[in-house]
Amino acid sequence: MFISSRFKRTELAEPGGKGNFPPKLLIFPQFLSRLPPFLFLITSLSPEPNPSIPVFRSNFITCFPSVSLPFRSVFPFAASTLQQFTGAVAKMVTAAVENQESDMVEGNEQKPKNIVSDGFDANYLKIYYGKLFPHADFFKWMSYGNDGKHPGSDQSYFGRREFSFTLDNDIYLRFQSFNSLSEMENSIKEKCPFKIDIGPVYSVDPAKRHAYAGDNVFTPVERELVFDIDMTDYDDVRYCCSGADVCLDCWPLMTAAIKVIDTTLRDDFGFNHILWVFSGRRGVHCWVCDGKARRLSNEQRAAIAEYFHLYQGNESSRKKISLTGPVLHPFLARSYIEVLKDSFESQLLCSQKIFSTEERYEKILDMIHDESITSELRGRWQDNRRPSKNDVNSVRWEQLKNMLQSGKHKAKGTRRHVEEIVFSFTYPRLDLEVTKHMNHLLKAPFCVHPKTGRICVPIDPEHCDEFDPTTVPTVAQLLEELNAADMEVDSETDWDRTSLGESIRFFRSSFLQPLLKSCKEEIESSHNLKVQQSKNSLSW
């Protein structure tokens, strides 16, 4: 049984209840076997707590006083308040039970597990931010070594970073900034944003931007180089799903994009500190965090975006991608040989059944501007009714390749067609605007996707083939894991007892630690240089 009920504020004589209403009342029946039933009542804090009114600082409260607390939560309010509160809760429970009919989720008896793990609930967020979200790692990252004691570190750095929060009811708070880890952590826990976006580091504290209005003082000065790849941009080359959905049949498109971009950023542009993140539903984000990358001008960002950009044609053009010239640029050649060809031939070709129907193969024949070739292939494919042992897609692809690459046709400008087809079906499609501009906001890693409830976990580019978007933990799953785990372990490492642990460990060891090491070196060397220069200028 799963009950979720909303109450009007007036039904609850809740003290200090200035926060986000209505609160939600939840019962998790699947715990019944192991734990006594308890209720989570999520209270939200008023933005500016009035000291005269007691405020619940807890994320969840058990409503069965005889039951031991499932979490080591602290209730900083007086006993009388608690009584008042439990009274209110009791009313709610009654109401909830009365409303049970209308609020019951259908079919929950059959698969209760799914209901919890699929769902996303604002209330989970409180717990997630309170117990699991890696605030400290996040702060370390965004400080880039400037939170240290070194005289060369810039103490104002983190405080000049813009964060923006999307709250429930689509309330959008831009230009949030924090001067310390605790300030950030408190604000996140208190506001409990559905989404946290990261903006640039500005010349001055973005919260004080109005003080500088009109002087052009308030400008972005640093920003990670970011990439945003969204599966919806691939809708014309995937047949398994469309729009917001993804599955293991189309995910290789993202894997190919990660490989192409990651290799190029490292080998061509010389970047080292690159973080890949699952966007929570149907895409990936990339954060390039090298000092050099953070300080790129918009023009330089645009140059990178253009370097990656291949004109993808439009609705009315027959060809998706045309590759002209006698050879491919070394970058495109490498991408083709090392990633795209294989991704196409051993994954997408069969999983997307690219040649399986007339409509699909016609789309490909349309890219070949040679009547004699297309009509011959079409003839063969239309007649070919007898079932073959081999996959029809592979067979047809081989036939097409043989035809295009045979000596007979090689000279006719058709030699690029094989590559063009592969590029059209696999080459990364970037949202260029996100990359080009410093002040574009991008969702922070470790956020919870508000629709799927999945965590935006990092992806290891070296093992991105193994990444499965359909098994990324959801916030509900994490909470369940948390409950199931041993309560006596130190709460500092709550995340370690959930499947988030692996992601955070990867984030630390593969990204954060090497990054901070190089930040430290950079701060030291630029500081030494400054000291050297000032010495020189003194002696002259």
Partner 1 sequence: MEPYRPQGKSSITTSSTTNLPLYRSAPPLEVKLEDFELYAIDRLRVLKGISDGLSRGKKSEEMEERVRELWNTNMKHPQASEDVNKDIISHFVLRLVYCRTEELRKWFLSMETILFRHRFLYAGSESQKQVVAELGLPYKPISYAEFEAVKDKLVQVARLFGLTVPSGDAIYYKVPWEEVPELVAGRRIFLHKGYAYITMYQVVSLAATQFRSYLSKALSLTNRKWTSTIREQEKNRLTPIVEALCTSYLGPDYSQLREYGDVSIKDLDQIAKSSFPLCMRHLFEKLKEDHHLKHGGRMQLGLFLKGVGLKLDDALAFWKAEFSQRVGAERFDKEYAYSIRHNYGKEGKRVDYSPYCCQKIISSSPSVGDHHGCPYRHFSEDNLRAALGKMGVNNRTMDDIMDKVRNRHYQLACTLTFESIHGLSCDAGINHPNQYFIDSQKVLQSKNNSTA
Residue 350's alpha-carbon distances to 139, 234, 252, 392, 426, in angstroms, are 44, 17, 12, 8, 13
- Helices and strands (DSSP H and E) totals, the chain: 21, 12
If the CB atoms of residues 61 and 293 are measured against partner 1, the closer one turns out to be 293
Give catalytic residues, as residue numbers: 162, 228, 230
Q: Which span sits near partner 1 by CB under 8 A: 31-39, 280-288, 323-331, 342-350? A: 323-331
Q: Which span sits near partner 1 by CB under 8 A: 41-49, 226-234, 261-269, 277-285? A: 261-269
If the CB atoms of residues 74 and 327 are measured against partner 1, the closer one turns out to be 327
Sole residue written with tokens 């291949």: 310
Choosing among partner 1, Zn ion, none, which partner's interface includes residue 304 (Cβ < 5 to 8 Å by kind)? partner 1
d(CA 64, CA 67): 6
Backbone angles phi, psi at 315, to 5 degrees: -55, -35
If the CB atoms of residues 240 and 302 are measured against Zn ion, the closer one turns out to be 240
d(CA 186, CA 163): 14
Choosing among Zn ion, partner 1, none, which partner's interface includes residue 240 (Cβ < 5 to 8 Å by kind)? Zn ion
3-state helix, strand and coil shares in percent for the chain, rounded to the nearest 5: 50, 10, 40
Q: Which span sits near partner 1 by CB under 8 A: 184-192, 266-274, 438-446, 472-480? A: 266-274
If the CB atoms of residues 360 and 378 are measured against Zn ion, the closer one turns out to be 360
In angstroms, what is the minimal distance from the CB of 352 to Zn ion? 8
**HSE (side-chain half, CA atoms, 13 Å) at 291:** 15
In angstroms, what is the minimal distance from the CB of 250 to Zn ion? 3
Question: Does 178 sit near partner 1 (CB under 8 A)?
Answer: no
Choosing among partner 1, Zn ion, none, which partner's interface includes residue 330 (Cβ < 5 to 8 Å by kind)? partner 1
Residue 177's alpha-carbon distances to 65, 202, 291, 485, in angstroms, are 40, 10, 21, 35
Choosing among Zn ion, partner 1, none, which partner's interface includes residue 328 (Cβ < 5 to 8 Å by kind)? partner 1
Choosing among Zn ion, partner 1, none, which partner's interface includes residue 379 (Cβ < 5 to 8 Å by kind)? none
d(CA 202, CA 159): 9
Question: Does 407 sit near partner 1 (CB under 8 A)?
Answer: no
Residues 267-306 that bind partner 1 (CB under 8 A): 267-271, 292, 296, 299-300, 302-304, 306
Task: Specify whether the CB–CB gap between 201 and 187 falls below 8 A.
Answer: no
Choosing among partner 1, Zn ion, none, which partner's interface includes residue 221 (Cβ < 5 to 8 Å by kind)? none
Residue 175's alpha-carbon distances to 186, 202, 204, 215, in angstroms, are 16, 10, 11, 18
- Overall size of the chain counted in residues: 540
In angstroms, what is the minimal distance from the CB of 180 to Zn ion? 43
Candidate list 51, 65, 214, 326; residue touching partner 1; CB under 8 A: 326
Question: Does 373 sit near partner 1 (CB under 8 A)?
Answer: no
If the CB atoms of residues 123 and 322 are measured against partner 1, the closer one turns out to be 322
Choosing among partner 1, Zn ion, none, which partner's interface includes residue 326 (Cβ < 5 to 8 Å by kind)? partner 1
In angstroms, what is the minimal distance from the CB of 228 to partner 1? 19
d(CA 96, CA 393): 55
In angstroms, what is the minimal distance from the CB of 262 to Zn ion? 22
Compute how many residues bind partner 1; rule: CB under 8 A.
23
Locate the DSSP E strands across 49-104: none
If the CB atoms of residues 58 and 351 are measured against Zn ion, the closer one turns out to be 351
Question: Does 530 sit near partner 1 (CB under 8 A)?
Answer: no
In angstroms, what is the minimal distance from the CB of 103 to Zn ion? 33
Choosing among Zn ion, partner 1, none, which partner's interface includes residue 267 (Cβ < 5 to 8 Å by kind)? partner 1
Question: Does 330 sit near partner 1 (CB under 8 A)?
Answer: yes
If the CB atoms of residues 161 and 449 are measured against Zn ion, the closer one turns out to be 449
Residues of this chain that interact with Zn ion (CB under 5 A) are 240-241, 247, 249-250
Coil, strand, or helix at residue 433? helix
**HSE (side-chain half, CA atoms, 13 Å) at 163:** 24
Question: Does 540 sit near partner 1 (CB under 8 A)?
Answer: no
Choosing among Zn ion, partner 1, none, which partner's interface includes residue 292 (Cβ < 5 to 8 Å by kind)? partner 1
In angstroms, what is the minimal distance from the CB of 284 to Zn ion? 15
Backbone angles phi, psi at 112, to 5 degrees: -65, -30
If the CB atoms of residues 267 and 362 are measured against partner 1, the closer one turns out to be 267
Choosing among Zn ion, partner 1, none, which partner's interface includes residue 268 (Cβ < 5 to 8 Å by kind)? partner 1
Task: Specify whether the CB–CB gap between 430 and 305 falls below 8 A.
Answer: yes
In angstroms, what is the minimal distance from the CB of 326 to partner 1? 5
| DSSP code at position 157 | T
Backbone angles phi, psi at 18, to 5 degrees: -95, 0
Question: Does 333 sit near partner 1 (CB under 8 A)?
Answer: yes
**HSE (side-chain half, CA atoms, 13 Å) at 474:** 21
In angstroms, what is the minimal distance from the CB of 471 to partner 1? 36
**Closest of 240, 477, 235, 476 to residue 352, by C-alpha:** 240
Give the pairing of strands 442-443 and 161-166. unpaired
Locate the DSSP E strands across 445-511: 458-459
If the CB atoms of residues 191 and 429 are measured against partner 1, the closer one turns out to be 429
| 3-state helix/strand/coil string of 280-339 | CCCEEEEEECCHHHHCCCHHHHHHHHHHHCCCCCCCCCCCCCCCCCCCCCHHHHHHHHHH
If the CB atoms of residues 179 and 300 are measured against partner 1, the closer one turns out to be 300
Which residues contribute to the site for partner 1 (CB under 8 A)?
267-271, 292, 296, 299-300, 302-304, 306-307, 325-333
